[in-house]
Amino acid sequence: MANKFDLNSLPMEKHSHVPFVIILLKARKLWEAEHGGNMPKSFAEKQEFKDKYVKSLALDFPKEVNFSEAIKNAYLLFQSVDLDLNLQEIFDAPEI
């Protein structure tokens, strides 16, 4: 779904309503492309991700609340989630 959004072609009134999770996924893709597929780990890297990558996607950061929401919720991308082994087996099943 995130790939369907072309932030560069959206007018301001639509750009400012893109869900923050889409913004985070777009910023993550940019970050990973420049950092060997790795996510930010240190505090400085996480700050750079927000300041450089998330904010760079905004047309007018102070006016776009959705980008502020993305900054506030960026921590969600940095958490690793380990699935219970039984649950992982379900996702790994060929029929899924």
Global pTM value: 0.79
pLDDT in tens, 37-76: 999 999 999 999 999 999 999 999 999 999 999 999 999 9
Closest CA to 59 of 94, 6, 16, 27: 16
Q: What's the structural domain count of the chain?
A: 1
pLDDT score recorded for residue 56: 94
Question: Is 76 inside any structural domain?
Answer: yes
In a domain, residue 23? The reply is yes
How far is residue 7's CA from residue 84's CA, in Å, rounded to a whole number? 36
Whether residue 14 is contained in a domain is answered as yes
More confident residue, 91 or 9: 9
Which structural domain range is residue 60 located in?
Answer: 9-92
Tell me whether residue 74 is in a domain.
yes
The answer to whether residue 1 sits within a structural domain is no
Is residue 54 assigned to a domain? yes
For residue 34, what pLDDT is reported? 95
Is 4 domain-assigned? no
Task: Provide the token pair at 34.
Answer: 């420049």
Rank 6-10, 64-68, 81-85 by mean pLDDT and report only the highest.
64-68
Tokens 């990558």: give the residue: 53
